[in-house]
Structure 1
Amino acid sequence: MTLRTRILVLISALVVLAGVATASVLHASARADRRNQTQPGGPKITAGTVALTGDQSRMVFRNMAWGPHRDELTTVPASDPSGPRTASKVKCLRFYAASGTGVCLQAVHGAVQDTYRAVILDAHLHETARYDVPGIPSRARVSPSGRYAAWTAFVGGDSYAGTNFSTRAAIVDTRTGKLTPSLEAYRVMKDGRMYDAADVNFWGVTFAGDDRTFYATLATKGKTYLIRGDLRTRTVTTVHTNVECPSLSPDGTRIAFKKRVKGLPKDAPWHLYVLDLHTMRETPLAEPRSVDDQAVWRDDHTIVYALPGDYGADLYTVPSDGTGKPRRISTAAVSPAYLR
């Protein structure tokens, strides 16, 4: 092969390689463009203003649909949860709001690993404070008055289904900024006696309307308990067994929760129940599937919760008295809050 022929072969090879590289770039760009558009058949989403006060008949939640508004807080009319969404540009992994105060649990993506934080938001979604979160965010709540916010994170493991996990539940006074990084700092009263054990875990805080009382899950020795907490005395007291991720009804009389039921798969062991706090009577709800969520009360008669869906999660509703049947109300959505 002559020198001239070798040069021509080399030039041809370079041209082919350049073409392949260009095609790869264009293909990747096209895929990115498609990813940044809402999938066909998905919810209609437009950027706009999202507030936590004003119109008291709206729902705010984390949008899960692929596109430029993925993970952003979005709002819809509470009467039309599957309708067009308005997106805020504020991204959260978990979210909740009440009385013009929101708590947004976020991931901070790093070169080596992600870290997490809790951001307190005002009525216009402006940050007023932020706190480090020691692990993967799991649950978030705000008290009815907006004064207190709480969150739970996994500091070991990443699922409630097994037993090899540990959690950290924190509460902050949004007025003073005083943070309790872990409910493990509280005194535990179990069966009428002081209780101290190294394996105690807390998660799933829910607040009463008196800015003093809260409920949560306590786990120890392989069992879970509903506990009632007192923010002033910094004490928690066991109330009922086999309760996880409690959610207090708006009238303060009942707890919606997930309960481990014998015979269900180990990775999906829960059924939704409602507990009457006066009689301690449990009512199983008409959702046959296992629900791993801290349910939300839409009103005194309706429970809202998330189940896995095509985009990651969908929202469903079911009556709180055990009647009726579950109904999907919104696709590609999680962490709802009803503005009251």
Structure 2
Amino acid sequence: MIDSERILLVTGASSGIGRATALAAASAGAHLVLAARDPDALQETADACECAGAASALAVPTDIGLDSDVEALVGAVLERHGRVDVAVHCAGVAAYGRTEQIPAEVFDGVIATNLTGSVNLARHVLPVLRRQRHGTLVLVGSVIGHLGVPTMSPYVLSKWGVRALARQLQLENRDVPGVSVRYVAPGGIDTPIYRLAANYAGFQGMPPPPVRRPDRVARQLLDRVDTRRGRDQLELTNELMRFGFTVFPRLYDALVGPLFAAAARDLGAPLAPGPGNVLAPHHVREGGDDGGRARRGLGVLAVLRNVGRLVRGPRGGQ
């Protein structure tokens, strides 16, 4: 767990899991350096962290997909604190649509934030940790990094890549016992990523049940900082989905489309196509969770509504 002596770097700190992680560490009195693209939302998080008890909270506006930005970010941490104890990469964006429907710049933008951003952070943080002979890098993946799902190909590709990167970094840093690379894979989380995603599929995405609050994920994540134990998968349902994908691939392929339509799409919220927050940040108000469309459509009731719409659809001539 985090204590008041720790220096934490958190990316994606303006919302979702990143913001929740920053606030959880702040409550333990840690020193925080926070990164995200939106300077106003990032400063709001820094102010909230100081109110929550952080020893200090520095906001450094950063595009994690740009290596020069990440180099400057890590430099800012070292200039202020002289070391990095924990770096957590939570920044992430998503896009909905078939592979051929998603514009190249949007597809590449998802990869840049989720995967290239992970590489950039590792490139600049790990040499610091190795010089110190201690420290932890945490890469936040997704259960989707272990599966295939329809109409999310850039996100799927990026999260498979994050998992592969984490495994590679674990192998490369075995020679320094005090340096740890952790990978965690949440399931459905109530964050703004769904309503801010690029969308070329015509529907609003939503987190599949069971839907967890980001503060729960933040606690699970921080609990794994000081140990090499603990499951990478943060939900039992993740393990069940992985089992089906791996052991019964034909059955999985037959079921994933209808299940995704029922559990991960808000069929009552059609959307016009657009890049969402992939190419530029969209400021969102945080109230501890998404606080928007995703929360109103969470869980089993949302799934039941979708099932009803799917059943009625053919009879309505759609």
Q: TM-score range by the shorter chain?
A: under 0.3
Q: Which has the higher helix share?
A: 2
Higher RCO (Cα < 8 Å, 6 or more apart): 2
TM-score using structure 2 length? 0.28
Q: Which has the higher strand share?
A: 1
TM-score using structure 1 length? 0.27
Q: Greater CA radius of gyration, 1 or 2?
A: 1
